[in-house]
Amino acid sequence: MGADKGKPLLASYRLDGDAFVFIAADPGEPRPTVFRTVPGLTLRTFARKRPSR
């Protein structure tokens, strides 16, 4: 979305309970292999609650 719309996004992700964590490389950078930020990487965490049954 935004200025990055349509560009490949090299990223890694993990699911940890209700949390979805991903780390993405800036354009032209290699796919990240560790979940830590350094210049050229963006780290995002999203937590979602599961619906009650």
37: left (phi over 0), alpha (psi -120 to 50) or beta: beta
Q: pLDDT-derived band of residue 34, with 50, 70 and 90 as boundaries?
A: confident
C-alpha to C-alpha distance for 17 and 28, rounded to whole angstroms? 31
What pTM was computed for the model? 0.61
pLDDT bucket at 45, cuts 50 / 70 / 90: low
Buried b or exposed e, range 1-34, using 16+ CB within 10 angstroms = eeeeeeeeeeeeeeeeeeeeebbbbeeeeeebee
pLDDT of 53 over the 80 cut: no
Per-residue confidence (pLDDT) for residue 49, from 0 to 100: 66
- Amino acid 12: pLDDT: 87
| pLDDT of the residue at 47 | 64
Helix (H, G, I), strand (E, B) or coil at 16: strand
